[in-house]
Chain A
Amino acid sequence: MMGGEHPGQGAPEASRAEQLHRRFEKIWGTPPGLAQLSVVNHSNVSRRFIITGFVFFLLGGLQAMLLRTHLARPNNDFLDHEVYNQLFTMHGTTMMFLFAVPVLEGIAFYLLPKMIGSRDMLYPRLSAYGYWCYLFGGILLYSSFVVGSVPDAGWFMYVPLASSEYTPGLNSDFWLLGITFVEISAVSAGIELVATILKARAPGMGVNRMPLFAWYMLVTGFMIILGFPPLILGSILLELERAFGWPFFMVGQGGDPLLWQHLFWLFGHPEVYIIFLPAAGIVTMAVATFARHPVVGYSWVVLAVVATGFISFMIWVHHMYTVGLPQVAQGFFSAASMGVAIPSGIQVFVWIATLWLGRAQMRVPMLFLMGFLFIFVLGGLTGVMLALASFDWQVHDTHFVVAHLHYVLIGGMLFPFFAGLYYWLPLMSGREYSELFGRLAFWLLFIGFNITFLPMHLIGMLGMTRRTYTYPEGLGWEIINLISTVGGFLMAAGVAAFVMDLYLHYRFGQRATANGWGAGTLEWSLRHPAPSYNFISLPQIRDRYPLWQNPKLPQELAQGQGFLADPGRGERETLGTSMLDAKPEYVVRLPRNTYLPLLLALATALLFVGLLIKQYWLVPMAAVLMVAGVWCWLWDRGIKQAPLVVDAGQGLTLPLQYSHPRGPGWWAMGLSILADLSLYGSLLFGYLFLWTVAPAWPPPDFGALPWLVPSLGLGGLILSSVAMGWAGRQLRVGSLPRLRLGYGLAILLALAYGVSQVLLLRDAPYGPQQHAYGAILHALVGCHLLHVGLVVLMACFILARSAYGYVVSDKPMEVTNVSLFWHYVVLQCLVGYVALHLLPLLM
């Protein structure tokens, strides 16, 4: 694992750097053998994300090749319709959920700490847990091939086709449960990205000095947090319908299949940008390096990225132009969808202007960037066409859309991904790539791609719909399909050349010189390959391109002339800094390698498997195991013996994060609440949506909901919030008995609320299966109960901790966190009360 030396080092300095390297490696390094399963370090976990994602990419690509081979001729019998429908469903699902998102998360996890001057992500165990959820979820989904119930309703699972009536087997269940399992990793990654970018930047790296990639990932992180929950909720509702007959989407019982489409695309459109933005971030970083010029219009890019994030949540309906919406809605969403052209245009012209003002060198990453530019701009232009509802009525669900989405996703994600890999490969492997194979891979991919997908626009306009497993002769589709298939094989050859290049690279590649590209951002100050701990000492940042500003920075950092250079405490430490101007606030002590993430993921897997095979007794068992896992997970934080303040080097003394009221845990809590808010908001959206399609709400045979008991319960719950607030203040003045009293009171009130909700359901005229109203009522109340149960557990955790002396007034973080979540849950139940009890009275 020894890397290239930095040029110009004298012998004593080199040996000091080497000595520090060995000591840090001892703290942060990877254990041998099976113990690697316990690794939580971001460099290792991110490599796992990338490699696993690439394997899924090859699987998805294989499926695509089978599909293209089948379509090469009309009336082909190479595949039958059953297999064809399974393959296109799995191809889309794999590429979106198991390749694009996880691989980009992997790249972001690998790069971000290195770019922003941190030693790790803020929640290393969560990264590891996320990885295992991704891996197990992917395996769960693919195990459908083993039992022969492969999902076959298309990757957006439209109901009622995906409902139990038309897909009676486990096919859709594999999809719903497998993907939800995978999404745990996405949401946790979103939380981790945002918190790390906001709180773990090197001192001095104010938000206006962050590398633009960090801005891109910050917005992506927020989009994941807000965008994935609608899909997770939709999947839960559909699974409830399939498994227990709760008719959310069944027309005859007050449900509506369009609710699924709204929930799916509320996720699905942001998803496109969740994939595109990280890739655009890669492009922006590489353009600056290859142009040897800072990116022009930094603020324009930031504005454009933030605007893209906002707009992406306002245009989901453009996937639904043909469902028969009112003209006004179609007009609004057409205009909003076209609006995306502005931030995209700004970015494209920023890249061109940067190249214009710099001196570009045409190396392999740059080739991929140019390929990206052509493909992405073309895909963007057809996107503008599709934004227009009237044109979309013709080409919607045809191969025109298939071509468009491949231009946007392959152009917008795969080409930047390859560019990024070639760009950062020397940092990851410490070796040079082969210019020859790299160019071969590029040209095969670029030419193959365009041959495959450019004619596909035309065939869509000539009437070929998507997802048709066969087509007759004589409609003018034969030759174009054949051309597309040939192009597909060229692309496959390009992927093969890339794999070959990668193999040769790791086997025979020459040692890379440090920062061979002459890049300006912090990740290139590390030795190659990047060590597990990243930085021997953390820098003070004064510029957007620290290495261009101070070329000696790598040597200075390697010799310990920065923060936290002393490995003497034997702990994994990095700095927590303030959100806007990155002033050091505290030292973050990160957890060491542990098997907990793996065990917790296994318990989670048990939950999903139990749901899948309908052995519901496994579910509470898994839940108990998960609670136990999380309990242990949290218990080893806030260590009693930990000092209140530590020496951070450079004359700086800082508190540890436990003593700070806004430590990483608080941010994690806040961001989790945001994700939960999105989930609950989607559920409320479902409630209101079903209301709009119902003739009467609640249905006449249901009658009005009782109000007395629920109102009393809610009143008690609001009082419990007051009790929590009081208990928190008691901790500040150091009175543990009063804290316990407050907690005990709050728990009792919360339990009373729970009872009131159970009574509400018990006295309802019918259960969840008869009508969509009953189903959504049970879903909402169930959601409240789940949340109340969770906060009660958290409060019990605090009480237990206080008995063991962990809860002390100068380490208030966990009490603060529990209060925050408690108040949020009370607010949620209050909103639920308004929606269920008050709104129907007002209407």
Chain B
Amino acid sequence: MNRTLAQWAGQARWRGAWGWLWLVALTGCRGEQSMLNTHSPTAQAIEGLWWWMFYGAAAVLVVVMSLAFYAIYRQPERRGAISATKFVLAGGVLLPVAALTPLLVFGLGVGYRAYLIDPEALTVDVIAHRFWWEVRYPGASPGDTLVTANELRIPAGQQVRVRLHSEDVIHSFWVPSLAGKLDVIPGRVNQLQLQAQTPGIFRGQCAEFCGALHAHMEFYVIALEPEQFQRWRQRQARGGRAPEREALKQGQQAFMAQGCGDCHRIRGSEAQGSGGPDLTHVASRYSLGLGRTGRITVDDFENWIVSKEHLLQPQAEMPAYDQLAPEELRSIALYLESLQ
């Protein structure tokens, strides 16, 4: 992976889990899409819940299995005398009631706080498509709405209200480091409160099976310092940069000639399609489909358009443009790469 996430190193909180410790160590629990590496109060509360339940469950398992082995292998003469009724009542009724009542009360409290929605918070609309995420920051007027794709930039330390919409089937919005998942259901608008305590990049993924390329429906939540976020927002609000260099102008022409603008929008140009992702600032994004992340290069754009090694299947709406002449392809890629 071409990325450093140094800011995480200091925060990875380790809590021992003897049974699984070696496994965790083996794989390096630094995962960027992990509910055990949390960066919001909600996710941390749920992680805490997990560790309580993990130790409790481990204890119950050990006790039950020990009793079973004792009951089988201890010589009958030496076994302690039990009253069957008391034994069954203690293990089958008292134990679960005593253990689960506090868990339920505590767990429901966690759930209640997680669902509190602050109506004043910054609001972002996320629209799930097969197989990508459209992200809209509503402005003062509809024309000011800022549109991007597959990444959700938020100011760190602040509450963000995410409204979830689906254009087609059911999806599920999940960024485990920040919050539990919430389904994205056609005909309904579900709301999720999102907060990242510190700046960072958090991977998310569609969690409800949505068809052919469900596995590729990932996205990133990028938490920025609030000033940084404001700067990014202002930059994104501008229209797409008109090409100045000749090569880029050719690229733009080729882009229009190939009909890319029928599906994609580049604000400030004649490309005003709405079926596919908005490309106004595509080159400033953190990821470009199929796991490509970091600084996106001209080659990345080329590969994406023809999708040589990748899988733009019929079910994803964009066809593979593998008939383009090499120079035409290059110029479109150059143009896209200029859309910072």
Contact = CB atoms under 8 A, between A and B. Distances in A.
Contacts of A478: 27
B14 to A, nearest CB: 14
B288 interface: no
Interface string A234-263: 000000000000000001000011100000
Contact of A391 (B30, B50, B187): B50
Given A161-B170, A345-B96, A476 B28 contact: yes
A327 B111 contact: yes
Nearest to A156: B209
Contact of B65 (A251, A297, A374): A374
Interface in A93-131: none
Interface string A457-469: 0100111011111
B68 A394 contact: no
B57 A324 contact: no
Contacts of B209: 85, 153-154, 158, 161, 397, 466-467
Contact of A347 (B45, B46, B92, B100): B92
B203 A475 contact: yes
B108 A462 contact: no
A160 interface: yes
Q: What is the size category of the interface that chain B forms with chain A?
A: 35 or more
Interface string B82-98: 10110110111101110
B213 interface: yes
B35 A394 contact: yes
Interface in B192-248: 203, 205-216
A477 interface: yes
Nearest to A378: B61
Interface string B254-265: 000000000000
B218 to A, nearest CB: 8
B319 interface: no
A649 interface: no
**Most B Cβ at <10 Å: residue of A154, A296, A468:** A468
B33 interface: yes
Contact of B183 (A322, A341, A374): A322
Q: What is the size category of the interface that chain A forms with chain B?
A: 35 or more
A81 B290 CA distance: 14
B142 interface: no
Contacts of A480: 23, 27
A350 B93 CA distance: 12
B313 interface: yes
**Most B Cβ at <10 Å: residue of A85, A300, A381, A390:** A390
Contacts of A833: none
A458 B31 CA distance: 11
B32 interface: yes
Contacts of B31: 462-463, 475-477
B34 A461 contact: yes
Contacts of B61: 374, 377-378, 381
Describe A's contact surface by its main secondary structure: helix
B187 A257 contact: yes
Given A331-B108, A352-B71, A390 B49 contact: yes
Contact of A342 (B33, B96, B180): B96
A163 B79 CA distance: 61
Interface stretch (A357-365, A411-419, A696-704): A357-365
A475 B35 contact: no
Contacts, number: 267
B169 interface: yes
B4 to A, nearest CB: 12
A385 interface: yes
B116 to A, nearest CB: 10
Given A356-B82, A458-B24, A258 B53 contact: no
A346 B93 contact: yes
A327 B108 CA distance: 9
B110 interface: yes
A362 B104 CA distance: 39
Interface in B138-174: 168-170, 172, 174
Contacts of A304: 92
B92 A81 contact: no
Contact of A322 (B72, B85, B181): B181
Contact of B168 (A160, A359, A396): A160
A393 B28 CA distance: 24
Contacts of A258: 185
A341 B100 contact: yes
Contacts of A470: 215-216
A348 B90 CA distance: 12
A388 B65 contact: no
B206 A465 contact: yes
Contacts of B24: 458
B326 to A, nearest CB: 26
B100 A160 contact: no
A396 B207 CA distance: 8
A802 B46 CA distance: 70
Q: Which 7 pairs across A and B sit closest by C-beta, in order of nearness?
A: A393-B180, A463-B33, A346-B92, A251-B187, A390-B111, A349-B91, A468-B215
Given A324-B183, A391-B46, 19 more contacts: A85-B211, A158-B208, A324-B185, A334-B108, A349-B91, A352-B68, A354-B84, A356-B79, A356-B82, A362-B72, A374-B65, A390-B180, A393-B46, A455-B20, A458-B23, A461-B50, A462-B33, A472-B291, A479-B26
28 contacts: A81-B311, A81-B313, A85-B211, A160-B186, A161-B170, A300-B88, A304-B92, A322-B172, A322-B181, A322-B207, A330-B111, A346-B88, A349-B88, A349-B90, A349-B91, A356-B67, A356-B82, A377-B65, A384-B53, A385-B53, A388-B103, A391-B53, A393-B111, A394-B176, A396-B181, A397-B207, A458-B23, A458-B24
Interface of A: 81-82, 85, 153-154, 158, 160-161, 166, 251, 256-258, 296-297, 300, 304, 322-324, 327, 330-331, 334-335, 338, 341-343, 345-360, 362, 370, 373-374, 377-378, 381-382, 384-385, 388-398, 455, 458, 461-463, 465-480
Interface of B: 1, 20, 23-24, 26-36, 43, 45-46, 49-50, 53, 57, 60-61, 64-65, 67-68, 70-72, 76, 79, 82, 84-85, 87-88, 90-93, 95-97, 100, 103-104, 107-108, 110-112, 114-115, 130, 168-170, 172, 174, 176, 179-183, 185-188, 190, 203, 205-216, 291, 311, 313
